[in-house]
């Protein structure tokens, strides 16, 4: 299979990521206005965030699927399949995914800044900034794709976060779907953003000789960016835990009231 020219693939994938955001934003607006009765009654800011979360969900699903394929299904990072060291392995698909993700993060960051702080506070600026920096460094250097793909896989939790917001806005916090989604978010976050990062750091430790072979900026970035992201994940996980406990308590009280 012919490998696409990087000079074409990189900018094309970034532009494709931006175009995807615009297309899904508009598609979310059109579908929601026709299929969800409450959408047209929302204020303009809620409509903007509703549509924004549409392309956020689309990117999350695509990023998680591609990352899972490259990390688990393909033999790209198999220990015995290639002679190249793990830290230097890449493919045109990982390049394309990184470019598309850059386009997404650029678009989302632009919207966050434009509507700041209504679409997200300073923590979102930090998260998106670090993500764009790490992805750009991996894309341009061709190093560390394995680790960036693991981080991108954590986007698998985003659809649950967005569904929680949709249900909350729709006044469905007392529904079973809200409860089940909250439980799925808790489990998903625990697996994809806590346990996976433990594996991330363990793998980095066991392959530290390869990590040290990376150019200085890449080496120090690997040592600093993931810990910051993992700390943010822990803080968000604490909020998720508190929210889940609160929801479960309300559900229990509601069930007790019905039996009485």
Instruction: Give burial (CB, 10 Å; 0-12/13-18/19+) of 213.
Output: middle
Question: What mean pLDDT do residues 192-198 have?
Answer: 97
How high does pLDDT run on average in the chain? 94
What's the total number of domains in the chain? 1
| Tens-place pLDDT, residues 233-247 | 999 999 999 988 888
For residues 154 and 152, what is the distance between their CA atoms, to the nearest angstrom? 5
For residues 231 and 194, what is the distance between their CA atoms, to the nearest angstrom? 10
- What is residue 257's predicted lDDT score, i.e. its pLDDT? 64
For residues 108 and 256, what is the distance between their CA atoms, to the nearest angstrom? 43
Sign of the Cα torsion 120, 123, 127, 132 reads: positive
Q: What angle do CA 159, 28, 188 make, to 5 degrees?
A: 0
The answer to whether residue 223 is domain-embedded is yes
Nearest to 182 by CA among 230, 246, 229: 246
The answer to whether residue 163 is domain-embedded is yes
The answer to whether residue 260 is domain-embedded is no
End-to-end, the C-alpha distance of the chain in Å comes to: 68
- What is residue 206's predicted lDDT score, i.e. its pLDDT? 95
- What is residue 110's predicted lDDT score, i.e. its pLDDT? 98
> Percent of the chain, pLDDT > 90?
85
95: left (phi over 0), alpha (psi -120 to 50) or beta: alpha
Per-position DSSP letters for 136-201, written without gaps between them: HHHHHH---HHHHHHHHHGGGGHHHHHHHHHHHHTT-TTSHHHHHHHHHHHHHHIIIIIIHHHHHH
pLDDT surpassing 60 at residue 147: yes
- What is residue 82's predicted lDDT score, i.e. its pLDDT? 75
- What is residue 229's predicted lDDT score, i.e. its pLDDT? 96
3-state helix vs strand vs coil in the chain, percent to 5: 80, 0, 20
Nearest to 158 by CA among 179, 197, 184: 184
The answer to whether residue 1 is domain-embedded is no
The answer to whether residue 258 is domain-embedded is no
Number of other residues whose CB lies within 10 A of the CB of residue 9: 17
The answer to whether residue 259 is domain-embedded is no
The answer to whether residue 177 is domain-embedded is yes
Token pair 């059109």: residue: 30
Residue 235 domain boundaries: 6-252
The answer to whether residue 205 is domain-embedded is yes
pLDDT-based confidence at 174, cuts 50/70/90? confident
Nearest to 106 by CA among 28, 27, 197, 11: 11
Per-position DSSP letters for 21-68, written without gaps between them: HHHHHHHHHHHHHHH-TTGGGS-HHHHHHHHHHHHHHHHHHHHHHHHH
Range of lowest pLDDT (15-19, 69-73, 168-172): 168-172
What DSSP designation does 117 have?
T
Provide the token pair at 109: 């960051």
């Amino acid at each position: 299979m012919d490998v696409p020219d990087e000079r074409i693939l990189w900018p094309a994938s970034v532009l494709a990521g931006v175009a995807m955001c615009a297309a899904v934003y508009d598609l979310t607006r059109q579908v929601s206005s026709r299929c969800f009765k409450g959408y047209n009654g929302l204020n303009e800011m809620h409509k903007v965030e509703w549509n924004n979360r549409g392309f956020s969900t689309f990117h999350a699903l695509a990023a998680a699927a591609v990352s899972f394929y490259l990390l688990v299904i393909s033999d790209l990072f198999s220990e015995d399949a290639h002679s190249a060291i793990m830290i230097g392995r890449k493919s045109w698909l990982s390049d394309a995914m990184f470019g598309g993700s850059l386009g997404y993060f650029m678009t989302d960051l632009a919207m966050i800044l434009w509507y700041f702080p209504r679409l997200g506070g300073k923590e979102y600026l930090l998260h998106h900034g670090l993500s764009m920096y790490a992805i750009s460094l991996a894309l341009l250097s061709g190093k560390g794709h394995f680790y960036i793909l693991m981080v991108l896989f954590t986007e698998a939790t985003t659809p649950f976060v967005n569904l929680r917001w949709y249900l909350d806005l729709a006044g469905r916090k007392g529904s079973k779907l809200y409860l089940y989604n909250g439980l799925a978010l808790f489990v998903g976050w625990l697996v994809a953003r806590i346990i996976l990062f433990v594996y991330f750091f363990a793998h980095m430790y066991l392959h530290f000789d390869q990590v040290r072979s990376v150019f200085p900026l890449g080496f120090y970035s690997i040592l600093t960016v993931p810990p910051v992201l993992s700390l943010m994940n822990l803080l968000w996980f604490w909020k998720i835990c508190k929210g889940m406990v609160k929801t479960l308590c309300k559900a229990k009280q509601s069930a007790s009231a019905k039996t009485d």
